[in-house]
Amino acid sequence: MDHFLYHEGILHAEDVAITEIAAAVGTPFYVYSQATLMRHFRVFDEALNGMKHLICYAMKANSNIAILKILGNLGAGMDVVSGGEYLRAKAAGISGDKIVFSGVGKTREEMALAIKNGIRQFNVESEAELKVLNEVALSLGAIAPITLRVNPDVDAKTHAKIATGKSENKFGIPISKAQEVYSIAASMEGIDVVGIDVHIGSQLTDLEPFRLAYKKVAELTKVLRQDGHNIRRLDLGGGLGIPYENSNQIPPTPEDYAKVIHETVGDLDCEIEIEPGRLLAGNAGLMVSSVIYNKSGEGRDFMIVDAAMNDLIRPAMYEAYHEIIPVIETTGSPEIRDYDIVGPVCETGDTFANKRALTPVADGEMVAFRSAGAYGAVMASEYNTRPLIPEVLVYGDQFSIIRDRPSIEAIIKRDIIPDWL
């Protein structure tokens, strides 16, 4: 469920008309619903009742500090994958004991930053990283809490570019080597082994891969405890999918997912961490764009909008689907036509949809891209010297710009001409 509905023929974000926001900030822009974010978090949190747990929002999905503040106020922790994300989490008021640090390429500087300022745990991805983290911790007179991310060799049945749990993926330590590497970690003076980490992919719409992976984690937990390790925390990652299409195929719910956790690891007396990102933020956001031109080609019609692949890269990168709807509701029995919906960037890849059945939208009118709250603004660029588009947060009948559109002048001024030119 989200809070983007038509009222009196105009699409609203909660109680604010999209047309009102467009008049204030121009198009294109992102708009997020605070009520939707809060609801998504609470549904997930309630699904895990009965287990000691912490929801660590995967902030790579949408790292705007206002979004982090909303979730932090609800009790969320944060899953970060860079020093920059760590500092964003801290800027949002998240305490270090609620931040987990993931990622395959943590640098010494990032490790030191987190140790000095507080960290819940590092999710360590390799023996080489483990060795460096031990050195950094000892140099600071500290002990670094860790889990080891194990790769369970489970097919997540998702897009190849966002699958992370198969043996050929770059992530984690092969589960067959886990016992050996845990033994090495336990011998290090600067390391405190607190648990196990696993993450098999993103946008999963089938619970069976989770079940297979978590069963392997349960088995490994028992083996490691027999070896003398105090395994007390299980970071089960994220990845539960959301409905991008308005169809009868609904992904599993947080309640369904929580049941799998209960059934596979619920008897181990471990604190459970999960790292949802897309599930919390995805359907809490829209991207709104104006139609520049309608154009008829050879056997097809094009709808050229003022948003482009640099603003929302998912369709170009992943062939991802976003439902596209008119901001002004169509009434009666309108004509339905197939459109290629494209942006102004001079690449064929700047295409949001091919042969999408839509009612006509006139030049100058607006369309909204649904399910754009995750992996939208965070993956945007200034390709073609197109400014990053504004982000707007709505709560009830009020809205606020939470990231402004930079001026072209500000973009140009960032470049530096060397003295010899």
pLDDT tens per residue, range 90-105: 999 999 999 999 999 9
Greater model confidence, 171 or 330: 330
Name 255's Cβ contacts closer than 8 Å, sequence gap at least 6: 43, 47
Question: 417: burial class by Cβ within 10 Å (0-12, 13-18, 19+)?
Answer: exposed
Residues in the chain: 421
| pLDDT over 60 (residue 244) | yes
Contacts (Cβ under 8 Å, ≥6 apart) of 205: 157, 158, 241, 249, 251, 252
- What pLDDT does residue 161 have? 45
Sign of CA dihedral 272, 277, 282, 288: positive
CB atoms within 10 A of CB 253: 14
Three-state secondary-structure class, residue 183: helix
Q: Is 35 helix (H, G, I), strand (E, B) or coil?
A: helix
Lowest mean per-residue pLDDT among 241-255, 360-374, 377-391: 241-255
ω into residue 209 within 30 of 0, thus cis?
no
Q: What's the token pair of residue 69?
A: 């503040």
Residue whose token pair is 């050879």: 298
pLDDT of residue 200: 81
Q: How confident is the model at residue 202 (pLDDT cuts 50, 70, 90)?
A: low
Structure tokens at 50: 């009965």
Q: How far apart are CA 142 and CA 314, in angstroms?
A: 41
Q: Could you tell me which residue, 345 or 252, shows the higher pLDDT?
A: 345
The per-residue pLDDT for 247 is 60
Tokens of 273: 């961490």
Tokens linked to 327: 């901001």
**Known catalytic residue at 270:** no
Give residue for tokens 């992976």: 213
Chain segment 113-126, per-residue pLDDT in tens: 999 999 999 999 99
Backbone angles phi, psi at 164, to 5 degrees: -130, 5
What average pLDDT is seen over the chain? 93
| 43-52, 157-166, 228-237, 267-276: least confidently modelled range | 157-166
Q: Quick one: CATH architecture of 103-274?
A: Alpha-Beta Barrel (3.20)
Tokens of 186: 């336990």
CB distance 193 to 230 below 8 Å: yes
Whether residue 13 is predicted with pLDDT greater than 60 in this model: the reply is yes
User: Residue 108's CB: how many other CB atoms inside 10 A?
Assistant: 12
The domains spanning 4-31+282-413 and 103-274 adopt the same CATH topology = no
* pLDDT at position 242: 77
pLDDT at residue 333 above 70? yes
- Nearest residue to 175 (alpha-carbon basis) of 224, 133, 134: 224
pTM (global) more than 0.85:
yes
Q: Where are the domains of the chain?
A: 4-31+282-413, 103-274
Residue 169 has pLDDT above 70, yes or no: no
Would you say 104 and 170 are in contact if contact means Cβ atoms under 8 Å apart? yes
CB-based burial label for 394 (10 Å; 0-12, 13-18, 19+): buried
CATH code reported for the domain at 4-31+282-413 = 2.40.37.10
1, 128, 346, 416: the catalytic one is 346
The widest CA-to-CA distance across the chain, in whole angstroms, is 72
**C-alpha pair distances (Å), 119 with each of 48, 62, 386, 392, 412:** 23, 21, 37, 30, 38
Structure tokens at 206: 């089938």
Q: Which of 369, 296, 368 is nearest to 338 (CA)?
A: 296
What pLDDT shows up at residue 203? Answer: 76
Mean pLDDT calculated for residue range 258-273: 95
Alpha helices (runs of H) in 156-226, residue ranges in sequence order: 178-186, 208-226
327 Cβ contact partners less than 8 Å away, ≥ 6 residues apart: 10, 11, 18, 19, 22, 288, 365, 366, 367, 368
Q: Is the pLDDT of residue 165 over 60?
A: no
What is the arithmetic mean of pLDDT over 280-301? 95
- Three-state SS for 368? strand
